[in-house]
Structure 1
């Protein structure tokens, strides 16, 4: 485990970095960037909704406010409690996220080592080089915290006061409670994240798989009657938690107007403000009578891969959960840097498979180039008038492609390492030549 002084220095530096940058003009600049402030996470829109609510006007009667009723009440409380220093709220949430990641790192290191012990009978004697050692994961918690505290995406989202930080915090808590084995709190965390942004509903699948393996460590199959009952139980509990939040919202609002302004808005994508995704460009160019069909085609991708991935990764639910987080950031209708901050902060969990990844250099360069050129091309398009929508869309498409490459590369690396664990690092044919392994 990393020494406490290193953890303290890391957290102090992250705190000073955020407080210092909030005193500059960067905070206002980030708040205006479409890569950070989307129609569903914009702080300016959130404050408009709070102002309308204080004036006894329903913020859901218009097309400006798209936060949930509980988030509206929380924002009203926050603006009353911190009328001039709401920046501190976002700094606090970021620091809390780092603390949760610190705990996740400790628990995940134990999880990896314990899983390795449980599967030791299936490990080849020729796979000694890729066995996870305790020394290689003892600093994982510090790496995770640092990956968040000094992550440029996390810092930018904090400075831009994107409300997505609350959604990210709920997802971090879901990972924490999953690894702690606390099913109820894990489902409540996923319910809160799903209530806020809908797409985390997909995380119920890996959670159901995980808690079935916890309850049945000596399971023979994942499709027995007990397994199905366990999956249904966990899923129903999760859906009940979400339903409870919706009922509370209805009681607070006295109407169901909020349903369309939040989930209906997310699914129907009526606001085509440019962002990191690809929805806005396609539906700007599309004929109206094709719109409903292609909305369904686009949206189904966020949920389509849950079943096949759950079948293939049924013995690796934590990795499945992370891959679904990556897919959410790719296929959601209004993605932002907050989604990238989430997946990059959790990425060090899989540092033991980095050596198997084939496209690290390509993916890293694509993400860096798109991050740098995105604001430039947006400025040339909107302000200078020397570019057009195609320029900015090309950056958004390249960014999404980089995330796709990252997801596929992680999947390949994970499955290839699992193969090598069972069959050894070097597989040879009968004639003594080294075999070529092909992933199908």
Structure 2
């Protein structure tokens, strides 16, 4: 059953049309005038998303030196060829490009919300854009020129196209996303299921999945063609297959234990080499086991399933930055119907505030002042992981509880 597409009243949306350009302009000014160099901050970039590593790869690529021979460059060959041919490579142009990616992410979020509500415009457009552009977990990594900001924009664009029933655009964008970020594999199943279903909210009225599974094989075939084509292009660009182990393999083998806001790095720093392969397998499989339960339980609302998987990925990713859980937190604005059913939103917010204060403090005490050790920073990352986990659990609770709440409310109204 489809929803009728309507437009919101003009007086409610006129002001919203100016919010996105104003926020983007402010974001660009902040990027151009920033007084500090954030490109080496461990909270904002990882070995897989570092702008400094990307610049080194671009330099080696231009000098006809294999950028993947030294074990430093972890970026996809697609990034290297784009920044040496099409995209300009300077700090000023980088500020423009990363701001554009943030603007595309905010625009995609607005369109996802419109598609979910079945409307052309909304009075909440400005709020949805602000939740993305003003989220410090998102704009700080963007100021650090972390490629995680580009990945977030690709995630939102693929979801937007899927919500708008545009399969070719969805699969092409997602193939590019998966190519530059292997951990985005978590989104493959729910994105395909979203393409054959509908984006409207069914949290309050759960039902069996109503999509046509006969459409899945052609979609999988088209995705395979896009992904294989990008893989072949990358192999030709790099002159061999060495890039696979340095890019995709890094997410599976964790060769670089540079500190980050995740929970992997310290665990494997203390790990005996004899047990390392086993626990690498456990940590990798642990991410995958959430896909089927989430997709089955929320089969009536695939958009919400993607949202929850984004939160799980942001919590347990191998090389996370602040932008990974930041995407999940900003996407909460897409589901206002769940707000009354969140159980501990204040506790979760305070946990995030606590973690946001501890992370830079303990990082400074350890690496700058030398008065602490790795346990200090890892303790703060555990608090951060607890905050992210609490947010995911609270959203799962709200997504399940809304159906019971609506059913009870309907009973009460009927009795009255």
Provide TM-score, normalisation by structure 1: 0.84
Task: State the distance in 1 between where 2:177 and 2:276 align.
Answer: 28
Task: Report SS of the residue matched to 1:66.
Answer: coil
Task: State the distance in 2 between where 1:10 and 1:212 align.
Answer: 31
Larger radius of gyration: 1
Instruction: Indicate if the aligned counterparts of 2:46 and 2:319 stay in contact, CA closer than 8 A.
Output: yes
State the partner residue of 2:139. Answer: 155
Task: State the distance in 2 between where 1:90 and 1:42 align.
Answer: 13
Aligned length: 397
User: Could you report, residue by residue, the CA deviation over 1:287-319 in whole angstroms, capped at 9, with x for unpaired residues?
Assistant: 100000000101112211111111111111110
User: Could you report, residue by residue, the CA deviation over 1:243-267 in whole angstroms, capped at 9, with x for unpaired residues?
Assistant: 2211111122221011001001111
Name the CA shift for 1:221/1:323 in 2 (closer, same or farther; >3 Å): closer
State how 1:306-325 maps to structure 2 within 5 Å.
306-325=291-310
State the partner residue of 1:124. Answer: none
Task: State the distance in 2 between where 1:370 and 1:15 align.
Answer: 29
Name the CA shift for 1:69/1:110 in 2 (closer, same or farther; >3 Å): same
Q: Say whether 1:25 aligns with 2:10.
A: no
- 2:259 counterpart (267, 270, 274): 274
State the partner residue of 2:347. Answer: 362
State the partner residue of 2:183. Answer: 199
State how 1:31-430 maps to structure 2 within 5 Å.
31-77=39-85, 80=88, 82=90, 84-110=92-118, 138-213=122-197, 222=209, 227=213, 229-424=214-409
Q: Say whether 1:3 aligns with 2:3.
A: no
Instruction: Indicate if the aligned counterparts of 1:204 and 1:238 stay in contact, CA closer than 8 A.
Output: no
Task: State the distance in 2 between where 1:283 and 1:211 align.
Answer: 38
Task: State the distance in 2 between where 1:367 and 1:336 align.
Answer: 14
More helix by share: 1
**Structural RMSD (CA):** 2.5
Name the CA shift for 1:362/1:85 in 2 (closer, same or farther; >3 Å): same
Task: State the distance in 2 between where 1:427 and 1:273 align.
Answer: 56
Instruction: Indicate if the aligned counterparts of 2:342 and 2:397 stay in contact, CA closer than 8 A.
Output: yes
State the partner residue of 1:118. Answer: none
Task: State the distance in 2 between where 1:151 and 1:18 align.
Answer: 15
Task: State the distance in 2 between where 1:80 and 1:41 align.
Answer: 18
Q: By how many angstroms is 1:377 displaced?
A: 0.5
Instruction: Indicate if the aligned counterparts of 1:153 and 1:341 stay in contact, CA closer than 8 A.
Output: yes
Extract unaligned runs of 5+ from structure 2: 1-7, 199-206
Provide TM-score, normalisation by structure 2: 0.89
Task: State the distance in 2 between where 1:81 and 1:32 align.
Answer: 18
Q: By how many angstroms is 1:101 displaced?
A: 2.1
Instruction: Indicate if the aligned counterparts of 1:33 and 1:375 stay in contact, CA closer than 8 A.
Output: no
Instruction: Indicate if the aligned counterparts of 1:19 and 1:91 stay in contact, CA closer than 8 A.
Output: no
Task: Report SS of the residue matched to 1:161.
Answer: coil
